[in-house]
């Protein structure tokens, strides 16, 4: 299954980007052995509209355009469901075995993600109850994707 990571907002060159890239590279190298492939990392432009609802809608339009037809959609949101790393790995394996070819993971901007995306999401996950800046969320999900493929492949990186 091909996994795309889509984020509203730019990750500028610097230590946050370096760390996110490091984990995504590890994921890209380790994932194919367990049928998970990094297909794409894409950044959406943050909307400058006057109100939050319009900003979220405009950002969602960009995300919707980038969605591959028939793709599974996972949103990251602090109000979402908390999974431990093994459960996240198992969820990815279930999606992989579902017959769908693509999975899109979306990170919102300063206002979060549009309700229309929530309505069509296959899962809404949190990385803890606290709110993180999108830059840190990029690093956290990149590391958890890498950790998930090490769990699925029995690699000793993850020690329960
Ligand atoms: C600065 S947060 C936006 C918070 C926004 N006020 C809201 O209500 O969603 C930017 C993005 O980072 C992600 N994010 C932040 N904290 C998170 C968490 N604890 N779990 C999962 N995703 C998180 C979400 O995708 C969120 O849209």
Q: Encode pLDDT of 31-84 as tens digits.
A: 999 999 999 999 999 999 999 999 999 999 999 999 999 999 999 999 999 999
Check: CB of residue 8 under 8 Å from CB of residue 108: yes
How high is the mean pLDDT of the chain? Answer: 96
According to the annotation, is 130 in a ligand binding site?
yes
Q: What integer is the mean pLDDT of 120-134?
A: 97
According to the annotation, is 17 in a ligand binding site?
no
- Identify the pLDDT of residue 13: 95
Q: Which domains does the chain have, with CATH numbers?
A: 2-153 (3.40.1280.10)
Interface ipTM: 0.98
From the CB of 132, is ligand 1 less than 6 Å away?
yes
From the CB of 113, is ligand 1 less than 6 Å away?
yes
From the CB of 76, is ligand 1 less than 6 Å away?
yes
Tokens found for residue 140: 């956290």
DSSP SS3 for 157: coil
Q: Cα-Cα-Cα-Cα dihedral of 98, 101, 106, 83, to 10°?
A: 30
DSSP SS3 for 130: coil
Check: CB of residue 38 under 8 Å from CB of residue 148: no
User: Rounded to the nearest whole angstrom, what is the distance from the C-alpha of residue 156 to the centroid of ligand 1?
Assistant: 30
Checking if the pLDDT of 160 tops 90, the result is: no
User: Rounded to the nearest whole angstrom, what is the distance from the C-alpha of residue 21 to the centroid of ligand 1?
Assistant: 20
From the CB of 56, is ligand 1 less than 6 Å away?
no
Closest ligand 1 atom to the C-alpha of 113? Answer: 27
Helix (H) or strand (E) holding 124: strand 123-126
Checking if the pLDDT of 108 tops 90, the result is: yes
């Amino acid at each position: 299954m091909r996994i795309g990571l889509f984020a509203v907002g730019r990750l500028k060159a610097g230590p946050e980007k370096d760390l996110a890239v490091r984990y995504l590279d590890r994921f890209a190298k380790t994932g194919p052995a367990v049928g998970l492939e990094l297909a794409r990392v894409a950044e959406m432009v943050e909307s400058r509209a006057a109100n939050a609802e319009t900003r979220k809608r405009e950002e969602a339009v960009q995300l919707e355009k980038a969605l591959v037809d028939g793709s599974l959609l996972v949103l990251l949101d602090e109000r979402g469901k908390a999974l431990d790393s093994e459960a996240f790995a198992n969820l990815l394996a279930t999606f992989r075995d579902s017959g769908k070819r693509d999975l899109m993971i979306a990170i919102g901007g300063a206002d979060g993600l549009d309700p229309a995306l929530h309505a069509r999401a296959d899962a809404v996950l949190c990385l803890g109850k606290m709110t993180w800046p999108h830059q840190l969320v990029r690093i956290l999900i990149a590391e958890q994707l890498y950790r998930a493929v090490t769990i699925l492949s029995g690699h000793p990186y993850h020690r329960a």
